[in-house]
Every structure is written in C-alpha cells, then in structure tokens.
Amino acid sequence: MADRTKSKDSLVILSPRPMPPDSPATVSIESFAPHDPHYIGVPDSGRHAWLVVISGFINFTASFGLPASTATWIGSAQMFVLFLSGSFIGPAFDKWGARKLMLSGTFLCLAAFIACSFATEFYQLLLAQGLLFGLGCALFAVSEWFDKKRGFALGLVVSGASAGGILWPIVLNKLFLHIRIASTHRVAAAIAVPLMLLSCVFVRERKDIAGHDTAGKGVKASQTPISKAIGDVRFLGLSFALLFVDCGMMVPFNFLPQYAQYREINGTMANNLLAISYAASLVGRIFTGWVADHIGRFNILLLVSTLTSVATLCFAWAATLPTLVVVSLLFGFSSGGIVPLGSALVAQTTPDMGYIGLRIGAMMAICSNYMFEAHYILAEVL
C-alpha cells in the first residue's frame, strides 16, 4: 500500500505508535510518518467528528437509564450481555462500520421493548432485556475520529448514559402512575427508538468496508495478525485491570436504592440518590476526559479508580440521608470517568487502528467475565 504524503497545508495529525521502553520520550510523532503503514491521520475536530460525538450522546441517552426490572440482578445480566457482545460487535465494526451495526441494534432494542410489553414470566424479561446490543459501536466510531481530544470526546459520549439515568426514571415513574406497565414499555419505545435512529443518521465512519484509506481521511487496511492484535501483553494487562475496576464501579449503581432503603430511607428518596449519583457522573465523565487529555489518561484512571474505591468504602459508614447524598455525589463524580477512559486507553495503545473495534470489543468481553458473577454474589449477600 502506498504511503500517504501531505503538503503542509493539508498535514493531518498522526496517531503515535506506542513507544518501546528504551525510546526517548522526546521523539515526535512526526518522526515516524509517513513510512509506517499503520499510521493514520486523525482529524480531532471538524463537522463529521463532532456529529459522531452527538450521535453517541443521543444513543447513550436513549438507551441507558431504562429500569431493567424489579429484580436487580437482571440489570446485571443485561450489562453482562452488553459487554460480552463486544467480542463479536468489535470485529464486525472493523468490517462493516458503525451505522449498520447501530441500525441493527436499534431494531433489536425495538424488539426488546415490544417483547417486554408482553412478557409475563421472569425468563421472558431476562431474554428480552438481554437484546440491547449495539451501544459499543458509538465508542468505536469516536475512537477513530479523535486522538488528542479522545478522552474529552468519549466523556461527552458516555455522559449521555448519565443524562439517560436522570431523565428516564422521571419520565417512567410518571407513566407508571397513569398507565399499565405494558403500555409504559411501548411509550418508552416510541421515545427511545426515534432517538436511536437519529443517532444512526449522525454517525460517520472513516473507512470503507475493506478498511482501506478513503480520501486521505480513512483508516488503512490492517497489516497486523489478529492474534498479535489481541495477544499484546500491554493490551491484556490493561483489559484485566479494567475488569476489576468496572466490576467494582458498576455494583453500587445497581444496588444504591436497595442500600438506601436498608438504611431506612424512603423509596422515593432512595431512587433520587441514584439520580443524584448519575448527575455527578455526568459532570465527572466530561471533566475527567478533558483533564486526562492534558495530564495523562493512565494517571487519571489511577486517580479516579482510587477515589471510587474510597467512595465505595464510605457507603458502609453512610447511615443518614445527608451522608448518603455526599457519598453518592463523590461516587458518581469519580466513577464517571472510568467508562470513557477505558476505551480511550485501548485506542491509545492500539498502533493499528484497523483493529480498533476488535481491541475495544475484546476488552469489553474480558470485562464481562466477572461482571455478572460479582453482581449476583452481592445480590445474594444483600
């Protein structure tokens, strides 16, 4: 494949190859280009790039915050399936791009809403709500369009999940008071599915189906064997580190209302604590992503993971409503940055962006292994 050459007027930003341990830290990314076939131009801005961010934000807002069921561990199973699906959604993204997968995910979500409206048995709810695939595609698409601003962009995208966590409980609690549960699922579908379709319109890919360079802005075809792409020691180490971080971070979100009721907080306020935590995580996801782009994403991941651990431990001593509010705010803010940083770090350590979907998908699949078990064990304890 021919190397790309650009004049100074059309020079694009280059995504750096992870440096070997003995490389000087002062080596510029331009010193590798344009001879390395894995190096790609990353816009880091522009109309198409920010449309992808808007697409991801809308997708997450429409999809997250919907209550899984009164059985808390069904929500855990839903997250398990979502993360596990990355093992095949990631490679599919590398081959077909985001839009086709997001359209497929939208129709699966519609089918899940309809199935839930007719479900009368526990297993039917579990199967229906396990169909919410396709959300990871938004993360893959953003990773292709951003480099230096990747943490900030991904923070904006996943802040949509926090927005959904605030808005959906308010909307659905109002609906539950006036219409049947089955009708509520159908109304939720009427709201969420059009938003998901809108996100499919906004998303853009930077490569054609084969992964070849397109108009000087695409991702070049992958030259790295798949086994090497996912067998990299640094990638595996990062993925297993994120596994433990994600398991610890997601459990309090699922069990916060139940824990508040255990502390004799009334049901309405117990649910409001979850909304408070989501509101803090919205700010945390955007702010953390922005700071990480400036002082280092690994540094910030270490910081927010430590703060999240401290906040989680503080729940054990939070016995009154004021203390629960403070701890929920701290936990929401600190844990909010973990989700965008995971994908940003995988992209940062991926020299061959033709496999970005595969690598993020593999990371999600690894993180899924203990997610369900961790939630199930805690549900039994509580």
User: Each residue of 220-258: b (16+ CB within 10 Å) or e?
Assistant: bebebeeeebbebeebeebbebbbebbbbbbbbbbbbbe
Tell me the helix, strand and coil percentages in the chain, rounded to 5: 75, 0, 25
User: Is residue 307 scored above 80 in pLDDT?
Assistant: yes
Whole-number Å distance between alpha carbons of 211 and 202:
20
pLDDT in the model for residue 222: 52
- pLDDT, tens digit, 9 for 90 and up, residues 207-244: 543 343 444 444 454 555 666 767 788 888 988 888 88
Asked, for residue 93, whether it belongs to a domain, the answer is: yes
- Number of domains, the chain: 1
Asked, for residue 218, whether it belongs to a domain, the answer is: no
Asked, for residue 337, whether it belongs to a domain, the answer is: yes
Asked, for residue 49, whether it belongs to a domain, the answer is: yes
pLDDT in the model for residue 172: 79
Asked, for residue 99, whether it belongs to a domain, the answer is: yes
Window from 45-59, 64-78, 171-185 with minimum mean pLDDT = 64-78
> Residue 9's pLDDT band (boundaries 50, 70, 90)?
very low
Find where tokens 């049947």 sit. 180
Higher pLDDT, 64 or 314: 314
Whole-number Å distance between alpha carbons of 222 and 210:
9
Asked, for residue 176, whether it belongs to a domain, the answer is: yes
Yes or no: say if 86 and 369 are a contact pair by the CB < 8 Å rule: no
Higher pLDDT, 325 or 128: 325
Asked, for residue 288, whether it belongs to a domain, the answer is: yes
Asked, for residue 60, whether it belongs to a domain, the answer is: yes
Domain span including residue 178: 44-207+224-377
> Residue 327's pLDDT band (boundaries 50, 70, 90)?
very high
Whole-number Å distance between alpha carbons of 80 and 267:
27
The CATH code of the domain that includes 175 is: 1.20.1250.20
* Structure token pair of residue 135: 């959300």
Whole-number Å distance between alpha carbons of 284 and 299:
15
